[in-house]
Amino acid sequence: MSDSIQALTREICAFRDERDWLQFHNPREMAVAIAAEAGELLQHFVWQNAAQSESRVRERHPELASEMADIAILLLEMAANCEIDLAASIRAKLARNAERYPVEKARGSNRKYNEL
């Protein structure tokens, strides 16, 4: 099966439309749901250090896959609802970040672009 964003988005929107859920899915609600799901993902890692978080991924692989799928489903639908081309936006952002974080300055640094 295709892993194109367009194909996945079509399946997500079909699921939603069979249930007549678009009425609940205004942009605000989608942003709220994304934040709540991002909070669920984060909860797996609270108080963990880096090494513990690596083992956690191994121990809770299916749950984490499911949490990430929740965020992805909402994000793909929200982009579609807002007429945003997510693949193009990702590439535009990478291009912008390439300017903000030139390789020679950003290499090996965790600083923000305005602090490089």
Query: What residues numbered 59-78 form the site for its own copies, per CB under 8 A?
Result: 61, 64-66, 68-73, 75-76, 78
C-beta of residue 41 within 8 angstroms of C-beta of residue 64: yes
- Number of residues this chain uses to bind its own copies (CB under 8 A): 82
**Rounded to whole angstroms, how far apart are CA atoms 95 and 5?**
19
Q: In whole angstroms, give the CA distance from residue 58 to residue 73.
A: 23
Asked if 99 touches its own copies (CB under 8 A), the answer is no
Does position 103 interact with its own copies (CB under 8 A)? The reply is: yes
> By CB under 8 A, is residue 13 in contact with its own copies?
no
| Closest separation in Å from C-beta 88 to its own copies | 8
Q: 25-44 mask for its own copies (x: CB under 8 A)?
A: -xxxx-xxxxxxxxxxxxxx
Indicate the helix (H) or strand (E) that contains 54: helix 50-59
Rounded to the nearest whole angstrom, what is the least distance from the CB of residue 44 to its own copies in the complex?
7
Contact partners, residue 68, CB within 8 Å, separation at least 6? 41
- Name the token pair of 106: 């950003």
Decide if residue 89 touches its own copies (CB under 8 A). Answer: yes
